[in-house]
Amino acid sequence: MVQKYFTNNPSQTRKLGKLLAEEISKTAPPKEAVVIGLEGDLGGGKTTFLKGFARGLKISKKILSPTFVIMKRFVIKNRNFKNFYHIDCYRIEEPKEILNLGFKEIVSNPQNIVAVEWADRIRKILPKDTIIIQFEFINENKREIVLKLNNGK
């Protein structure tokens, strides 16, 4: 399934993130982690989206653009999920750097929700059912956000 959205300011993008988190929180417990891959240019709105997403998971800590931190874990209190991992691949040179952080274990644990910024850089190691979200810069305040579930089918 492919869903296309346009947002006209950061708060609309955060709202979209919050709605997705609420949907994921409500669904039946998965067999493996829920993985979301965020793609698109710098300033496209990936981190902004995840700020809203974290709110939807009732995380009160701030989601930042991790400059030197590749991965950050947040504890969540939900019936099905216990951890939210925010991974940013902007600075990595090869997928192995992410594998070395225990990525395989993280994405196989059904109590985890994992969001990966610059996911196209580690496409080779992403689980097949990763939810892909593409961010496109239309103009200063307008973004096109395309959500792909089930490999876009």
Should residue 43 be labelled a site residue for ligand ADP when binding is judged by CB under 6 A? yes
Q: Which of 2, 4, 5, 9 binds ligand ADP (CB under 6 A)?
A: 9
Q: Which of 47, 112, 130, 134 binds ligand ADP (CB under 6 A)?
A: 47
Residue 23 backbone dihedrals phi, psi, to 5 degrees = -60, -50
Query: 88-96 contacts: CB < 8 A, separation 24 or more?
Result: 88/116, 88/117, 88/118, 89/116, 89/117, 89/118, 89/119, 89/121, 89/122, 90/42, 90/117, 90/118, 92/118, 92/121, 92/122, 95/121, 95/122, 95/124, 95/125
* 18 interacts with, out of Mg ion, ligand ADP, none, CB within 5 to 8 A per kind: none
* 39 interacts with, out of Mg ion, ligand ADP, none, CB within 5 to 8 A per kind: none
Residue 130 backbone dihedrals phi, psi, to 5 degrees = -60, 135
The site string for ligand ADP over 62-91 (x = CB under 6 A, - otherwise) reads ---x--------------------------
Do the Cβ atoms of 114 and 88 come closer than 8 Å?
A: no
Q: Which of 3, 108, 141, 151 binds ligand ADP (CB under 6 A)?
A: 141
Residues that bind Mg ion (CB under 5 A): 46-47, 65, 117
Q: Which residues are near ligand ADP by CB under 6 A?
A: 7-10, 12-13, 42-48, 65, 117, 135, 141-143
